[in-house]
Structure 1
Amino acid sequence: YFALFQIKESFLAQNFSIKFEASTRIGDISWKKGEDFDLTVLSSRVTPLTVLAQVATLERIKKDKLSINPKRVRDIFDLWFIDQKLGGNSSINFQGFDPKVVKREMHKFLPKNERAMLKSWLPQE
């Protein structure tokens, strides 16, 4: 499941959104605190808002993403991003996907100032 909460308040210098994602895949449901999830402080570059939330660890998210078949554009990006956060050095590979589909999907997730990376990720025509 996916939800996007858009926050617009007159006293804020900039509007912001909070994204919520939850997996409904059936499988290993024996999650352990400290191993699969933890209480984490979440903050934003846009607003001084800070919250505490139970959040899956990157290792657990990676495990879930690797179990998806067939992979979607978002899954491939997420696996690459998680690997970068975990100190890995994997490359992103959108081979087999229509470049137009990759661009459309990635524009949903990448800030405008980071979309130039797409050129290096797409197969050269």
Structure 2
Amino acid sequence: MSDTTARVRELNLYRQYFDLVAAGAKTIEVRVKYPHLADLAAGDVIRFRIKGTAETCPVEVKRVTEYQGFEALLDGEGPANVNPTATREQQLSNIRTIYPPEKEALGALAIEIELLAASPQKPD
């Protein structure tokens, strides 16, 4: 018998990406395949937070797909799903600014997300 309770993860996002997620415009989150994300699966909940604030935005994980690197991920998922406000080249540059080559070498995760109904949440 398996446990079907959704796991909740908390992950930080920069404001510009948080706003896209909260608006429902960003449907693919890009992450490096760190060990703590290796078991991320459909049905899990991610509570995105802007670092240093109490603002959160919960999403449900619909799918997790692993890629060798960021270029393959953008080609496979479509840049508009990752960030509809930037070109593929801009996104690749931005992602590589966040994650240097040694991090990209761990593998790239495309996390398909869907905004949950009670989103986003700002503190009173």
Q: TM-score, normalised by structure 1?
A: 0.30
Q: Which has the higher contact order (CA 8 A, sep 6+)?
A: 2
Q: Which structure is higher in strand share?
A: 2
Q: TM-score, normalised by structure 2?
A: 0.30
